Structure 1
Amino acid sequence: MHRPGAQQHNGEGFSTSSENPARPLAPAPITQNRHGENTFRADDGLSDLLSPPRSTRSPLRGLLWPTIAVVLTSCIGAAILVGLRSSKGTEDGYLGSTPDTRGYQLTDTPCTVLDLKPIAAAGAAPATGSSPTYSVARHPAVDTSQCRMTLTDKGGRTTVFLDTTATVHKVSNPVPAFLAEFETVDQQSGKPEVEKISGLGDDAYIVYERNGALATLRVRDGWFVYEILWRSSSPSSDIVPRDAKSPMLQALASHALSELSR
C-alpha cells in the first residue's frame, strides 16, 4: 500500500508518481524513402528542433557590403585625383591665388612691340596708306591692350589682318580658363586643328580654322596672356602659307613677350 504522492520504482529503475503517471512518448512514425531505407518523421514540433535553423539574414544584407565597397572606392579615387590635381596645380599655378604677373607691364603703344621682320620674311608688309590702330585699358583687376594691323602681299593685291591682344590678370587666375579653352577646341564647330607649342611661356598653342585662313596663337606666361590672330578672307587669297604661319607667329610672340616683360 502506498501513500498518495509517494513515488514508486518500476523494475527498470525509473520512478513514477501515483498521482501524475508519466506519459510515454509515442514512437516516431517510420517511413521509407525512395531507396527503401527507414526514416523517422518527428511530429509535435520536434521537426523544428531537428531541422537546421533557418537563416534570419535579410536578402538585402548581402548587397550591403559590395555597395559600401563601391562607394569607398569612388571616394578614394576622387581623393587621389584631387590630390594629384592639387600637387600639379602647385607646380603649374592651376590653383594659385597669388598674382603671378612675371613682371609684364603693358605699353601705351602696343603695336610697337611687334617685330615686322618675321612678317616681311613670310612675304607680307603693312598696307600702304594704312596705320595700325590700338587701344589700352587699365583696371585694378586686369590690364588689356589691343593692336590691329592691315597687311598686304608685296604687290598690294591681297589684304590680311593681324590682331594682337595682351592681358595682365592681376586678381583672377587665368590658368583654368586658358587650359579649358585649349582642351575644348575639338568641341568647336568647323573642326579646327590645334598645334601645341613648346618653349614659349608656360603654355602655348595655335588653332587653325578654315583650312588655315584663320590662325590664332595663344601664349600664357604666369598670369599674363598674349594672343595673335592672323585673318585672311580665304586660304586661296592668303599671303602666308599655312606651314609658314607657325614660325612667323611664334617669332612675333617671342619678341612681344620680351618687350613687355622688361
Structure 2
Amino acid sequence: MMQERPEDLPAQPEPQPEPQAPAPSGSTTPPGSAAQPTPRSAPTPEPASQSQAHHQPSSPPRPENAPDSPYAAPQPGAQPGPQPANPYGPPPAQPPAQHYAYGPPPGLPPQSGGRTGAGRAVLWAAVGAVVASALWAGGILLFLDPLGDDPELAGYRARTNLCSSVDYTALRTEYTEEDDAPTHNALKHKALDQSYCSISLKKTSSSSYSDAYLSVQMDLHKETDPSAEFTALWSEYHQRYEDYEVEEVSGYGDEAYLVTEDTTSGSSTGGSRAVILAVRDGWMTYQMSWSVYTTSYETTTPPAIGEVSRWVKSDTRSTLENLRSG
C-alpha cells in the first residue's frame, strides 16, 4: 500500500534524464525507447590484437649488437652456449613453383614437341622457300646444261685393243710390211678410259729393225672437260723444243693441231723426223704420232714431212670413224 506524502513536506523535484548522444545512422534502437545512459568511466582499452595490429611494426628490428641476440658476433674466447630460440618464428616457406601459361619460364629451352601452330607454319614456310630455291636453281642448271654431269664423248667408246681399230692404210704406201704383233694396253677408270697402240713400220720383210714407228692413243674424259688443257698443250707444243712447228687444222672434231719436227736438214746420215696430229672431239682426245730416225734407213732417205703429214691426216680420219662405230 502506498503511503501518502504528508502535506507539509515540500515536493521533491523529479530527476531529469541526462541528454543522450544522437544515435548513429543505421541504429536499430526502436523509436520511443529510452537510450541507455553511458556510464562515465575510464575508456575501455582496445583489444590487444587490434592495438598491436595498428601499432606493431611489420618486422621487429634485429639488434645486431645485443649480447642476447642470435645475430651477435661471437666474442673472443667466449664458449658457445645454447642457441636461443628464433624470436621471429620459423622461416617462411618457399613459394610454390609458378606455372607459366604461355610456355616454359624465360631462360629455359623449349620443351620438345612444344611448337605452336604458328611456329610450325613459319618453319614449313622456310623449308618450302629453300626447296623452291633449290628446284629453281636446278632447273636453271638443267636448262643451261642439258647433259648435266654426263661427259660429251661424241659417240666414242673405250677399246681394250685399240690396235684392232687403227687404220694406217695411207702409211702402208711406204711401209708395206704389216706388224703381226703390235703392242696395246688399256686403262679403265670412272674418271678416264685410255687406250693405246704401238705399231712397228717396215718397208720390207728384209728389214732387220723397224724403219719407223707409229703410235695411237685415245682418252675418254668422263668427269672433267679437257678442252682448256688440250689447247694449252698442243697449241704451245713448240715451246718444248725449238725444232717443233705447230699448225692448227680444221675438219677434225672440235679442234686439231698438226705438230711436225725435222732435224735431218736433208741429210740421210743423222737427225730425226716426226709428225703428230692431235684431235679433240667433245671430251675425247686423240693423237696419232709417226717418228723416224734417219739411221734406221739403210739405203734410202725417209719420206718428207709434207708427205707423211698427208698420210697421217688420212689415217686419222678413218681411224676416228672406226672408234665411233661398233
Question: TM-score if structure 1 supplies the norm length?
Answer: 0.57
1:191 maps onto 2:243 in alignment: yes
> Whole-Å Cα distance in 1 between the matches of residues 320 and 183 of structure 2?
20
Alignment check: 8 A CA contact 1:124 1:240 kept: no
Q: Which has the higher contact order (CA 8 A, sep 6+)?
A: 1
Q: Greater share of helix residues, 1 or 2?
A: 1
Matched AA of 2:247: E
CA–CA separation in structure 2 for the residues paired with 1:257 and 1:222: 13
Deviation at 1:108?
Answer: 2.1
1:173 positional shift? 1.0
Aligned-residue offset at 1:156: 4.2
Alpha-carbon distance in 2 for matches of 1:186, 1:193:
6
- Alignment partner, residue 146 of structure 1: 196
Q: Any stretches of 5+ residues in structure 2 without a counterpart?
A: 1-143, 264-271
Q: Does 1:224 find its partner at 2:287?
A: no
Deviation, structure 1 residue 251: 1.4
Does the C-alpha gap of structure 1 residues 156 and 231 become closer, same or farther in structure 2, counting only changes over 3 Å?
farther
Say if 1:200 and 1:156 are closer, same or farther in 2 by CA, change over 3 A. Answer: farther
Q: What SS is found at the alignment partner of 1:247?
A: helix
Alignment-mate amino acid for residue 116 of structure 1: Y
Partner of 1:153, secondary structure, is coil
* Partner Cα distance (1:242, 1:102) in 2: 31
> In the alignment, residue 155 of structure 2 is paired with which amino acid?
G
1:257 counterpart = 2:309: no
Greater C-alpha radius of gyration:
2
Gap regions ≥5 residues in structure 1: 1-89, 91-95
Higher strand share: 1
Aligned partners of 1:255, 1:210: CA distance in 2, in Å?
26
Q: Which of 238, 250, 257 lines up with 1:205 in the alignment?
A: 257
How many pairs were matched up? 166
- Does the CA contact (< 8 Å) of 2:177 and 2:205 recur in 1? no
Give me the whole-angstrom Cα distance separating, in 1, the residues matched to 2:231 and 2:150. Answer: 18
**Aligned partner of residue 181 in structure 1, secondary structure:** helix
Q: Kindly provide the amino acid, as one letter, of the partner of residue 103 in structure 1.
A: G
Cα shift readout 1:230-252 (whole Å, capped 9, x = no counterpart): 11113884643211111111111
Flag the 1:201–1:132 CA change in 2: closer, same or farther, 3 A. same
How many percent of aligned residue pairs carry the same amino acid? 27
AA at the equivalent of 1:244: E
> Does the Cα contact within 8 Å between 1:226 and 1:253 map onto a contact in 2?
no
| Equivalent pair of 2:276/2:287 in contact (CA under 8 Å) | yes
Q: CA RMSD in A?
A: 2.5
The residue identity in structure 2 corresponding to 1:147 is C
